[in-house]
Amino acid sequence: MTAIRVAIAGSSGSIGTQTLDVVRAERDSYEVVALGVGSSVDVLIRQALEFRPKVVAVADPAQRARAQQALPFAEVVADLADLADVADVVVNAVVGFAGLPVTVRTLIAGKRLALANKESLIAAGPVVQPLRSVPGAELVPVDSEHCAVHQCLRSSVASDREVSRVVLTASGGPFRGRSAASLASVEIAEALSHPTWKMGPKITIDSSTLMNKGLEVIEAHELFGTPFDQIEVVVHPQSVVHSMVEFTDGCTMAQLSMPDMRLPIGYALAYPARIGTPFGRIDWACLGRLDFEQPDTVTFRCLPLAYAAGRAGGTAPAWLSAANEVAVEAFLAGRLRWPQIADVCDEVLQRYEPGADTTVDDIIAADARARSIAAEVITIREAS
């Protein structure tokens, strides 16, 4: 059997390094042929010396020469989207909207896209959807909830007609059960300490506001075509049930495993087969209990904001995602308080200007417009 050729865009981050863990455990099945980073060139060099990829991409021009010097066996390129040319599967683990070119180029190349970069699908749904029908192109989600839904849907023959509800689980993040008043002045470190998942800073802050879950509602709509009225969110603090699908006969399928991102990564690499390494294996005797509760949409306003943007469609999800990225950056820089992340997203959405959404450039323009309004809103808030 020839090994499946894997490219990782965003290899220095949390998903990127965990993808390398999966490959390390499954050396006979997978070969790393390409790695790409923004500017974390030291991590890239270490990874490349171990995995010997043919191509490495470094987006930051100031760091590129160092990669070239340290890795004489690899071709060094500037564009992470070029990685799709040499691989069978591209893991898109770039953070935020910057991952859009990798998503688009991978699908155009007719390759499998293992998508951890949800923002590209959410912001550019109208552009990405038609590319899914390029011959050979295939989108397999790496997001744990959508990986769960993907698995639950495999139990149904005609999934679109037989599904009555998709139920996305949410850990609730570090602030579950807290009141809005008690969250007025939380520290950055508190928002960065997730109770069940070990993830990068952007998604960890998104988990604390429930924006991550809101974006995942839009992601589920894009991936599976489920109407928003049929997508529900339930808080499940143990993060063992990764999501569920209820069918028209009342049966619910759920996918359970311990919270370990290497399971959805391995699933996306191996689908429709499964890897042999048991990441996320449950010890039932120690599991104890599984709890479920309604999300608090008054304290965590980002969740209803995402439903609203998703239902508005067009470039509204791009606006929301852009506003959120700018607000999270400002929070991490100490320029915004935690509740103001939702305030900024809300205000930017109120100023939403529907625009063209048929090309990548349309989406980039929408993203830029929303970012400039978000920056303006933040500056005004800082001054007041």
Separation of alpha carbons 269 and 27, rounded Å: 13
- Report the nearest approach of Mg ion to the CB of residue 292 (Å): 17
For Mg ion, give the closer residue by CB, 119 or 143: 143
Task: Choose the binding region for Mg ion from 21-29, 144-152, 263-271, 288-296 (rule: CB under 5 A).
Answer: 144-152
For Mg ion, give the closer residue by CB, 145 or 362: 145
User: What distance separates the 2 farthest-apart alpha carbons in the chain?
Assistant: 64
For Mg ion, give the closer residue by CB, 92 or 144: 144
For Mg ion, give the closer residue by CB, 218 or 374: 218
For Mg ion, give the closer residue by CB, 143 or 296: 143
24-38: buried (b, 16+ CB within 10 Å) or exposed (e) per residue? ebbeebbbbbbbbbb
Site string for Mg ion, 162-191 (x = CB under 5 A): ------------------------------
φ and ψ at residue 62, rounded to 5 degrees: -70, -20
With contact defined as beta carbons under 8 Å apart, do 138 and 88 qualify?
no
Residues touching Mg ion: how many (CB under 5 A)?
A: 3
Of 43, 49, 40, residue with least CA distance to 72: 49
Task: Choose the binding region for Mg ion from 21-29, 119-127, 140-148, 308-316 (rule: CB under 5 A).
Answer: 140-148
Separation of alpha carbons 240 and 234, rounded Å: 13
Query: Rounded to the nearest 10 degrees, how much is the dihedral formed by the CA atoms of 104, 108, 111, 112?
Result: 40
For Mg ion, give the closer residue by CB, 84 or 320: 320
With contact defined as beta carbons under 8 Å apart, do 75 and 52 qualify?
no
Residues for the chain: how many in total? 384
Q: Is 260 in the site for Mg ion (CB under 5 A)?
A: no
Task: Choose the binding region for Mg ion from 68-76, 98-106, 145-153, 309-317 (rule: CB under 5 A).
Answer: 145-153
Fill in the DSSP letter of residue 81.
G
Of 13, 17, 10, 6, residue with least CA distance to 112: 6
- Report the nearest approach of Mg ion to the CB of residue 118 (Å): 8
Task: Choose the binding region for Mg ion from 30-38, 102-110, 141-149, 170-178 (rule: CB under 5 A).
Answer: 141-149
- Report the nearest approach of Mg ion to the CB of residue 61 (Å): 33
CB neighbours of 213 closer than 8 A, spacing ≥ 6?
168, 170, 207, 233, 295, 303, 306
For Mg ion, give the closer residue by CB, 88 or 143: 143
- Report the nearest approach of Mg ion to the CB of residue 261 (Å): 9
Task: Among 82, 143, 325, 347, indicate the residue that binds Mg ion (CB under 5 A).
Answer: 143
Task: Choose the binding region for Mg ion from 25-33, 107-115, 135-143, 178-186 (rule: CB under 5 A).
Answer: 135-143
Fill in the DSSP letter of residue 33.
E
- Report the nearest approach of Mg ion to the CB of residue 215 (Å): 9
Classify 113 as helix, strand or coil: strand
Binding site for Mg ion (CB under 5 A): 143-145
